[in-house]
Structure 1
Amino acid sequence: MTDGSTIGADETAFITAVRAGDPERFTQLTERYRRELQVHCYRMLANYDDAQDLTQETFLRVWHKRETFGGRATLRTWMHRIATNACLDFLAKRRDRSPVPSGLPDAVSEVPYLQPYPDRMLPEDPQESVVARETVELAFVVAVQHLPPRQRAVLILRDVLGWPAPTVAAALELTVASVTSALARARATMREHLSHRRLDWRSPAARELSDDERDVLRSYIEAHERNDLAGLTALLRDDLRFTMLPGSGTTTVGARDAVEGWVAGGLFGPGYDDWRGLATTVNRMPAAALYVRTDGGTEHRLLNIAVLRIAAGEITELTGFDATDKPWLGLPPTL
Structure 2
Amino acid sequence: MGRNLLERAQAGDQDAFRDLTEPHRRELQLHCYRILGSLTDAEDLLQETLIAAWRGLPRFEGRASLRGWLYRIATNRCLNALRDAGRRVPAEPVPPFTPPEPSRRGEVTWLQPYPDDLLEQLPEPAPGPEARYETREAVELAFVVALQRMPPRQAATLVLRDVLGYPSTEVATMLGTTETAVKGALQRARAALDGRRTAGQPALSAPGSSDERQLVRRFAEAFTAADVDRVVALLTDDAWLSMPPAPHEYHGIPAIADFLRTSMAYPGNRRTVLVPARANTQPAFGVYHAESDQVPAGSGGLIVLTLTGGRIRAVTRFHTNHLMPRFGLPEKVG
For this structure pair, what is the TM-score category when the shorter chain's length is used for normalisation? 0.7 to 0.9
Paired residues in the alignment total 313
Matching residue's letter, 1:62: A
Are positions 1:313 and 2:310 aligned together? yes
**Does structure 1 conserve the Cα–Cα contact (< 8 Å) formed by 2:250 and 2:256?**
no
Question: Which residue is equivalent to 1:322?
Answer: 319
TM-score (norm. length: structure 1): 0.85
CA gap 1:175/1:125 in 2 versus in 1, 3 angstroms = same
Structure 1 runs not aligned, ≥5 long: 1-9, 199-204
- Cα distance in 1 for partners of 2:288, 2:267 equals 15
Question: Which residue is equivalent to 1:24?
Answer: 15
Matching residue's letter, 2:186: L
3-state secondary structure, aligned to 2:207:
coil
- Cα distance in 2 for partners of 1:197, 1:55 equals 38
- Cα distance in 1 for partners of 2:19, 2:205 equals 31
- Cα distance in 2 for partners of 1:75, 1:19 equals 12
Question: Which residue is equivalent to 1:223?
Answer: 222
**Does structure 2 conserve the Cα–Cα contact (< 8 Å) formed by 1:44 and 1:145?**
yes
**Does structure 1 conserve the Cα–Cα contact (< 8 Å) formed by 2:102 and 2:248?**
no
1:13, distance to aligned residue in structure 2 (A): 4.1
**Does structure 1 conserve the Cα–Cα contact (< 8 Å) formed by 2:205 and 2:211?**
no
3-state secondary structure, aligned to 1:242:
strand
- Cα distance in 1 for partners of 2:27, 2:327 equals 17
Structure 2 runs not aligned, ≥5 long: 90-100, 128-132
Are positions 1:295 and 2:292 aligned together? yes
Question: Which residue is equivalent to 1:191?
Answer: 194
**Does structure 2 conserve the Cα–Cα contact (< 8 Å) formed by 1:12 and 1:71?**
no
- Cα distance in 2 for partners of 1:319, 1:24 equals 41
CA gap 1:298/1:187 in 2 versus in 1, 3 angstroms = same
- Cα distance in 2 for partners of 1:197, 1:292 equals 38
1:309, distance to aligned residue in structure 2 (A): 1.1
- Larger mean CA deviation between 23-32 and 122-131 belongs to 122-131
1:271, distance to aligned residue in structure 2 (A): 4.4
1:262, distance to aligned residue in structure 2 (A): 1.5
3-state secondary structure, aligned to 1:140:
helix
**Does structure 2 conserve the Cα–Cα contact (< 8 Å) formed by 1:246 and 1:322?**
yes
CA gap 1:196/1:37 in 2 versus in 1, 3 angstroms = farther
Matching residue's letter, 1:72: R
Matching residue's letter, 2:195: E
CA gap 1:13/1:208 in 2 versus in 1, 3 angstroms = farther
Are positions 1:264 and 2:267 aligned together? no
1:7-30 Cα deviation digits (max 9, x unpaired): xxx162442223443211111221
- Cα distance in 2 for partners of 1:206, 1:78 equals 36
1:166 corresponds, among 165, 169, 172, to 169
> RCO (CA 8 Å, sep 6+): is it higher in 1 or 2?
2
- Cα distance in 2 for partners of 1:307, 1:182 equals 31
- Percent identical among aligned pairs is 36
Aligned pairs (5 A) from 1:99-114: 109-114=106-111
Aligned pairs (5 A) from 1:191-210: 191-196=194-199, 208-210=207-209
Question: Which residue is equivalent to 1:237?
Answer: 236
**Does structure 2 conserve the Cα–Cα contact (< 8 Å) formed by 1:244 and 1:321?**
yes
3-state secondary structure, aligned to 1:157:
helix
CA gap 1:57/1:142 in 2 versus in 1, 3 angstroms = same
1:47 corresponds, among 38, 53, 57, to 38
- Cα distance in 2 for partners of 1:171, 1:206 equals 36
1:246-303 Cα deviation digits (max 9, x unpaired): 225212121x55234222224474243x222122210111112221222375212221
1:234, distance to aligned residue in structure 2 (A): 1.9
- Cα distance in 2 for partners of 1:197, 1:149 equals 29
CA gap 1:217/1:207 in 2 versus in 1, 3 angstroms = closer
1:323, distance to aligned residue in structure 2 (A): 3.6
- Cα distance in 2 for partners of 1:194, 1:162 equals 21
- Cα distance in 1 for partners of 2:50, 2:154 equals 24
Are positions 1:57 and 2:60 aligned together? no
CA gap 1:267/1:220 in 2 versus in 1, 3 angstroms = farther
Question: Which residue is equivalent to 1:131?
Answer: 134
**Does structure 1 conserve the Cα–Cα contact (< 8 Å) formed by 2:304 and 2:317?**
yes
Question: Which residue is equivalent to 1:281?
Answer: 278
Matching residue's letter, 2:155: R
CA gap 1:95/1:195 in 2 versus in 1, 3 angstroms = farther
